[in-house]
Amino acid sequence: MNIKKLILLATLAFPVTAWSQATEEQFYKELARISREIETLSGSFTQTKEFRSLDVKVVSKGKFHYARNREIRFDYTVPYEVGLVVDDLTVKITSGDKTTTYVLKDQKNAMAEMASIMNYCMKGLLYELKAGYDLAYAGDGPYHRVIVKNLKEDPANVFDRIDLKFTRENYALEEMVISEKSGYITTYVFGNLAVNVAR
């Protein structure tokens, strides 16, 4: 291949790479801007948990509520009534009249990982996860997709990857898929959103 063809190929490839990087940067900036304006956010969710080697799916449903700088709350209604409240420091699980509190930094399980990453998403600080995770961004039709993986291979890591799907229209987190090393796959789908923004 002659030098002119190489230069032409390099010239054609560069704008695509630069545009992709600009789009990724724009996504993180816009997510942060929109998230800063949200005071509260609520809606419904469906959680599907499945095991790769078994043909078994467990579907749970409920409502969620997010209050900026306070908490994310999941109220499961199907198949059981269970409450899950996450703030910056703890996860509280309530079933019946019993509440169990876990310190987030002491936990190495999928629930703690999900809670922490959801917290970063809701605050618009997803880009800050780069300190401990590899983030792979893709603009995919009507969605922004981010794949989250641990930076270091560690036996204590509970998940292979977490796939996040945001709508392009309003940057809402529509779906989160947690693929655990144990073989479990948990999918959260969020809908019926009601948003209160700062005025």
162: nearest Cα among 146, 151, 174, 178: 178
Q: What is the pLDDT of residue 96?
A: 92
Annotate 160-196 with DSSP letters as a single string: EEEEEEEETTT--EEEEEEEETTSEEEEEEEEEEEEE
Residue 127 phi, psi (nearest 5): -60, -30
Residue 163 phi, psi (nearest 5): -100, 125
Quick check: 62 and 77 in contact, CB under 8 A?
A: yes
* Nearest-angstrom CA–CA distance, 128 and 135: 10
* Nearest-angstrom CA–CA distance, 48 and 7: 50
pTM of the model: 0.82
Alpha helices, H only, 64-171: 110-123
Give the 3-state secondary structure of residue 28: helix
Q: What is the pLDDT of residue 161?
A: 92
74: nearest Cα among 187, 188, 171: 188
Q: What is the pLDDT of residue 56?
A: 85
Quick check: 164 and 174 in contact, CB under 8 A?
A: no
pLDDT at 188 over 50: yes
**Measured in whole angstroms, how far is the alpha carbon of residue 87 from the centre of its chain?**
16
* Nearest-angstrom CA–CA distance, 46 and 140: 23
- The domains located in the chain, with CATH, are 3-197 (2.50.20.10)
Q: pLDDT digits over 61-117, tens only?
A: 999 999 988 899 999 999 999 999 988 888 899 999 999 998 877 776 667 777 778
Alpha carbon separation from 112 to 91, 93, 108, 109, 131 (Å, rounded)? 8, 12, 7, 5, 17
Q: pLDDT digits over 86-100, tens only?
A: 888 888 999 999 999
Alpha helices, H only, the chain: 3-37, 110-123
